[in-house]
A = this chain, B = another copy of it.
Amino acid sequence: MSTTLTTPVRHVLCLAGSLRRDSRNRRLLRAAATQAPATLNLVVYDSLSTVPLFDEDLEQYEPTAPAGVQALRMAIARADGLIIATPEYNHAIPGVLKNALDWLSRESPQGEVLLEKPVAVLGASSGPWGTRLAQASLRQVLHTCGALVMPTPTLFMANADTRFDPDGTLTDLAAAQSLQRFVQAFGQWMERVAPAAAEPQAAAAALS
C-alpha cells in the first residue's frame, strides 16, 4: 500500500508507426500495456491517421493546427513518456511516422512536445531483422527533436508473425518477458530523467 501512496503513476503514450489495423507494432504495444507494472499506465494511441501531411503553409496561414495534430500534441504533452513501436519501410521509418514527428518538432501552443520528453523505441517485423535500421533512424530523428531517448535495453522483434496468435495476443513467453523488462526499464528511465519538479516525490519514495 505504501508503494501506491508514494510512487506516482506515470502515464505513457504508445504510438505505432503504421496505420494498418492489424499492425504488428500496435499489437506489440497492446502487449506492452498488459506487461506494465502498476506504477505505469500505458495507453495506445490509435489516431495517427488523423495527422495530415505536413505543410508549412498550413502553419503560416491557418489560425490553428489541424485537429489531428492538436490531439496528438496534447496527448504527448500530458504524458510522462512516449513509447514508439516502428515498422521498417525501405530500411527506414515509415513516412507516416516521420510526418507525425515533423509536426511534433514544431513550436505550438503546447510547446515543442518532444523536447525533454522521455521516449523509448522498439519495433517488430515479420522478417529476420526486427526493424534494426528503422529504429536507428528513429533514434536519430528523436535526438534531433530533443527527446530523451532510452539508450538500453533495445527490443528488435524479428519473425513477429510467429509470436502472436491470430487474435493479436502475444503468445511467445520469451518475447513477453523481454517486453516486460523493456517496459520496466522505461519506467526507471522516466524516473531517472524526470524534470527537477518531480524530485520531492522521488525523495519521498526513497524514504518510504
Q: Which residues of A contact B (CB under 8 A)?
A: 18-21, 49, 51-57, 89-102, 105, 137, 140-141, 144-145
Contact = CB atoms under 8 A, between A and B. Distances in A.
Find the residue from A21, A90, A144 having the highest chain B CB count within 10 A. A90
Instruction: Name the 5 nearest CB pairs between A and B, nearest first.
Output: A95-B99, A95-B98, A19-B55, A90-B144, A20-B56
B141 A91 contact: yes
Contact of A140 (B91, B99, B101, B144): B91
A54 B95 contact: yes
Copies of the chain in the assembly? 2
B53 A49 contact: yes
12 contacts: A19-B54, A19-B55, A20-B55, A49-B53, A54-B89, A91-B144, A92-B137, A92-B144, A93-B98, A95-B95, A95-B97, A95-B99
A94 B102 contact: yes
A95 B90 CA distance: 13
A36 to B, nearest CB: 28
Given A53-B95, A90-B101, 16 more contacts: A49-B53, A52-B53, A53-B96, A53-B99, A89-B98, A89-B102, A90-B105, A90-B141, A90-B145, A91-B141, A92-B144, A93-B98, A94-B98, A95-B95, A95-B102, A99-B99
A94 B99 contact: yes
A145 B100 CA distance: 23
A68 to B, nearest CB: 10
A96 B97 CA distance: 10
A94 B94 CA distance: 11
A137 B102 CA distance: 16
